[in-house]
Structures are given as C-alpha cells and as structure tokens.
Chain A
C-alpha cells in the first residue's frame, strides 16, 4: 500500500480541518478551561462530531458504522491534534470500539456499537493501577460468583472515566500480579453499584479519573473476550490507541511548528526577521525533517492496523516513542523560539506543550515504548 492518502481520505482531512478551525479552534479549549468545565469537553461539539460521522468511522457497517478504518480515524485525530480539541474520540471511538470489535461477542457489539456510532454512548478503558503505565500489573480481582463475577480493586489514570456510560475494566482472574496470563476484561455500566469514580483535572483542561471497585457484582455476560486471555485483546487495543495518540501528536507537532515558522518570518530583531539567523534556521530545518519522518511512520502504522499486519506491536511502540520525542521537542522549541511571549498564558503556544505531555504520558511514555520496541525486536 503506497504511503499516500487516497481521494476519499483527502476529502475527510479537508472537512475535518474546516470544521475544527471554525467550531473548535484552540480558543475552544481555553474557554473550557476558563469556565472550569467538569467533563473537560463540550457535549454540543460532540453531537456535531457525531453528525459529521466521526463517532462511526471505525465501527463496522453491520453495527451502523462507516467502516473507514484506522486510517480514517487517524486523519481526524491528527486534525484534533492541530486544534487541541478535547473530545472522547480516543477513549470511546478508538479504545472502546477496538476492544469491542476485537474481543466482543456479536451480542455485545450489537448492544453498544450502534449507540456509540450515533454519539449517544461513551466508553472508557480502565487499565492502570499505579502512577506508571503497566498494563499487565493487575491486582484488581474478579472472582467467580454464582453465574457472574465479583470485582474489587482500584484503577487510575482512566481517560474519560468520568464521562463514560460504560467502563471496560481489566481484572485478574488467575496468576500472579504481573502475569499477562490471567487478565480478563469486563464491561459494566459506570453507575453500577459499588463503583465510585473520582474525577481529576490534568494540566491543560482535560480530565481523567480514579475508579474504585468495591465489591462490584456483575453477570457472566459482562466478560469481554475469553476468560484469562484478556491480554491479547488489551495488547491490540493499546497498540491501536498509542497509534491514535501518535496521530494526534503529529497534528500537534505540525501546528506548533507552523505557528513557530510564521513567527520566525514576522518577528524582527536587530532590524531583520529572526528567521534569517542560521542558528534558528538549522533548528527549524531539523524539526521539519523530524516531522516529515513522523508523518511517514504514522501513516504506515495506521495502514498496518487496517491490514492487520503482523508487526503491529513493534510499529506501535516505534511510533509512540518517536512521536513523543519529536512532538515534545517541537512544542518546547516553539516556546523558546517565541521568546518571552511564548511563556505567557495569554498566548496559545504553551497549550501545545501541555497537551503533548499528557498524550505522551498516558498509555506509556517514550521510555516505556523504547523498551517495548527493543523487546519486540528480540533484545
């Protein structure tokens, strides 16, 4: 598959770009922050996104979706990365949908996916239990009881956990605390008895949550995928998710870079544009090259997901490690090259670094993924 967008994808990109520029530019994020939004996103905007079909992109046609694939959703995520637009696209339409499509029964898919496609149902995946991404470290237990399960434990850093209608929770059904074997996934309503969700704000205006599971009793039909074998589904969900995050980081890096490039051409000191100084030119040229590389690998990884290639784990970690490093460097350089004004809250450029740090950290930072990449390659 050639590493280029097809006609349909180019149109999707243009329409996403236009919509977000008009309806949700960076000032939209600022308004949510200043109004101390509890959810961290706008429900009105979400409805409009659903009308655009974005909530249905990944969902198979048989469940009311558009079946545009990861390449399609990646395009939209890249554009929301440019405008830093908060929405449950990642948590619900990528993470949640992937979990259902990869692990769910026909009945489970039929129950949730049409509602997700219409934008009326939100999902969140609760994986982590400590302050560091460690998807196999699961101490939350799910014990069989009667015809179902009884869950107890505590989850943290749950993206959009406070917004979700339905939670997907990993819990241990056998084995030791760090085994990949013995992890199972469960679907449950967020307002189910025994569940307490504690929302917290992260450093731009997005929110995440801690989730306490205190003797949560659920039926056998809540099991998502095979008992004890949840790690296989989880791996694919997390791989797809970090590739989606990387698409978002790609948009973020491009926008921060383009804004900086404009500033280098406009801002005059010593009677000339500061962009005429070689010290800045060379740094800009290197950033350009890094971003071009990021475009190639994100496209490749999205294609790999759509084709179900064998090297997805290696590619996913490669992409997350590279995008984290590049986007972070670009966002930090953007502040430096803007000088004093880049440090002010009034100016938007600082939002890019904040969002970058959040995306990097959730679901594994560059060090986590460097290690995982090397392990995938056998060293």
Chain B
C-alpha cells in the first residue's frame, strides 16, 4: 500500500514535469491524435516530446514487459498511471493498433524473434500497424475469407483483397488473415501473417465515407510475397489468434464509449451551449436524456473496471468483450447524437475554420460505423446469448 502511494506521487511529479501544457487540452481536430509511424508528421514539438518521453518510460504500453520496451507495470500500478493521466486531462501520447491489437496477440502467441523484432518499435510509435481482416464477401462471416496464398517453401505468394482497413494508406506494416490451406474446413486453413506494406504488389484505395472522410481503404494483393517466418503461431492455426485479437479490438472499441482522456463531459458542453436556468440546463427535456447518457457512461466505465479487477492481470475478457463492444459503441453513438442536438444549427456546418471543418457532424456520421466495425452489434449480442447465456441454436 505504501509502495503504491509512493508510485502515485512519483507519477504525479513526473507527469507534472513532462506532460506539456498543450497536451492537456481537449482534442480540437483529428491531427491532435498522434498515431506515430514512419510517415507521421508531428503536429507540434509538444506532441513529439510527449510521445518520446512516455515511450522512454515504456508508458505507451504500460503493462508490457520491460524487455520489449514496455513499462512492466502490474494492474494496480497501471491503474494509478491511468488515473493520474486522466487527472490532468492528458491526451494519449500514442494511438496505436500495434499496442491495442497485434501487440497483445504477439505477446500471447508470437515467437521470441517476432516479439523482439516488432514490439519495441510499437512502443516507440515508430511503426504504424494496420489490420487486414474483412473482405468484400467476408464481413460478419469473417471465416469465409478468400485471400489465398501459394506455398513456395520459405514464403507465400498472396493474391486477393481486403476491405475496411483502417488507415490502410498510412500503415507501415499489416497483420493479415490469409487462407493458406484452401482444402481445410473454413476455420482451419487460415494463417495470421505480418508483412511490410512497402512490399511490391500491395496497393490501397481509400473508401469515401458518409462523413466525407476516408479512414478506411481497400487493400489489394497481387503476387505479394509474405515470409513464412512472419506467421504468428503455427501456419493454418490463425483463426484462434484472430478471435483473440478480435476480443482486444472489441475491448478497444468498447473503450470509445468511455470518457476518453481529452474528451469533454457532455453536460459541460451542453451548459456552455444552452446555459442554465435556475441551476438546471435550460432545456429540461434534453437535460433528462443527457443525465441518462452520463449515468450509462459511468455504468459502462465502472463495469470495464470491474471486469479488469476480476480478470487475472493481463487476461483477455473473452466473450464479455462482446458486451463491452456493444455498450461502448452504442454509447458513443448516443453521445454524438446528443452532441448534434446540443450543437443544433452550428452542428450542421460542414466546412470552414470556425467549425473545424465540420468536426462535430463528421464525427457523428463516423460514429455510425462503430456498431458495424469489429463485428456488428447484432453479432455481439449473438455471442453474448450463445457463449455467456448458453441459449441454444
């Protein structure tokens, strides 16, 4: 207990000294979110310094082992770090699918060589990872994927395509699901392979969304060489790893329903826009919806906290991740609906500096995808019904 208190005061002092003031402000636009990678252009010196300082401590991946560049913190210490970051409204130093997705899969299933090769650059934010899962004809039924590999001894030659690759045109490396044994039953012939996006035969094409932005791409493979020593786990055993990784993806997406570091409390936004009337928000009907939303937000947040307290340190949440994914995304959609109502006419503005190029409506439209990507809400409810509640069929 004493040791934890000491850690807390050390963290507090370190953050006070090392977190730049501008990194304690709410996000104003998408470039405020730091993704890192070979081609990342830091938006400010502060953004760069904040990433470097946190990465040196291993605190971009606080719970990873120190030998892979992580912070080596156990659950209690990691929680303290998180609380202290939240206390000063610090922005995340790094958003990374390396940390939230492929990293945990490598820690669990990867060889020592793969871990040593890939994890430290992830912690430092040097390599930006992207995910190659869905295909045009394999959405909710992911295991029916068709991108296939010809076995050429020490490597594969891959042909096919992926869709809904988040930031595919900005990725440095991809973790991809490929059918390496077309004869096997659909769940048993899939491998999870890592490859450099600069490999010849890889092209990407942005997909324009209803938000007017293109956060996703299609990715095409034309006789693309992928190395066998970059297969995670055993060849053709990728489905189990893919599912494990999906639970991490769901946890991560579930987190978006949380009050993220840097995100402002909805009621605070509403009070600024609408004002108070005798101490109550001036629109009493909207006030009720906001209160219900904020209550559900706390419920979700505390339930994720409880699930982590119950799980062994670092353990996966298993099928419960589906529940968090469902709630987190439904909450985020509600948040953006309410932000649109609070913003009213202002929230209809699509371009111009005053509206930060229509940030509010674009995020609202983008949020509609939250309950589709990473498995739809309906798929999550199916998983809860069957795998947790044991309902038949």
Tell me, yes or no, whether B54 is within 8 Å of chain A by CB: no
> CB < 8 Å: which of A292, A295, A318, A379 contacts B298?
A318
Say yes or no: B281 contacts A318, CB within 8 Å: no
A335 to chain B, nearest CB (A): 19
> CB < 8 Å: which of B270, B300, B302, B393 contacts A379?
B270
Given A281-B382, A297-B302, A370-B292, A273-B309 contact (CB < 8 Å): no
The number of chain A residues with a CB under 8 A from chain B is 39
Say yes or no: A379 contacts B281, CB within 8 Å: yes
A292–B294 alpha-carbon span in the complex (Å): 17
A349–B265 alpha-carbon span in the complex (Å): 40
Tell me, yes or no, whether A178 is within 8 Å of chain B by CB: no
- Residues in A with CB closer than 8 Å to B281 are 374, 379
Stretch at the interface among B114-122, B172-180, B231-239, B384-392: B384-392
Given A276-B391, A284-B391, A370-B288, A378-B271 contact (CB < 8 Å): yes
A370–B270 alpha-carbon span in the complex (Å): 16
Tell me, yes or no, whether A106 is within 8 Å of chain B by CB: no
B334 to chain A, nearest CB (A): 14
Tell me, yes or no, whether B287 is within 8 Å of chain A by CB: yes
Given A297-B298, A378-B271, A282-B378 contact (CB < 8 Å): yes
- Residues in B with CB closer than 8 Å to A278 are 382, 385
Tell me, yes or no, whether A334 is within 8 Å of chain B by CB: no
A322 to chain B, nearest CB (A): 5
A297–B392 alpha-carbon span in the complex (Å): 30
Say yes or no: B323 contacts A288, CB within 8 Å: yes
**Chain A, range 242-292, C-beta contacts under 8 Å to B:** 261, 264-265, 272-273, 275-278, 280-282, 284-286, 288-289, 292
Given A299-B306, A378-B271, A286-B299 contact (CB < 8 Å): no
Tell me, yes or no, whether B290 is within 8 Å of chain A by CB: yes
Considering residues B280, B326, B381, B391, which has the most beta carbons from chain A within 10 angstroms of its beta carbon? B391
Given A288-B323, A295-B306, A318-B295 contact (CB < 8 Å): yes
Closest A residue to B298 using CB positions? A318
- Residues in A with CB closer than 8 Å to B287 are 374, 379
A3 to chain B, nearest CB (A): 4
A285–B302 alpha-carbon span in the complex (Å): 19
Tell me, yes or no, whether A120 is within 8 Å of chain B by CB: no
Closest B residue to A367 using CB positions? B288
B295 to chain A, nearest CB (A): 5
Closest A residue to B383 using CB positions? A285
Question: Can you list 13 pairs linking A and B with CB atoms under 8 Å apart?
Answer: A3-B310, A281-B391, A281-B393, A284-B391, A286-B381, A288-B323, A295-B303, A296-B305, A296-B306, A297-B302, A374-B290, A378-B267, A379-B287
Given A281-B393, A292-B303, A321-B292: 9 more A-B contacts, CB < 8 Å: A276-B393, A277-B393, A278-B382, A293-B299, A297-B299, A374-B290, A377-B291, A378-B267, A379-B290
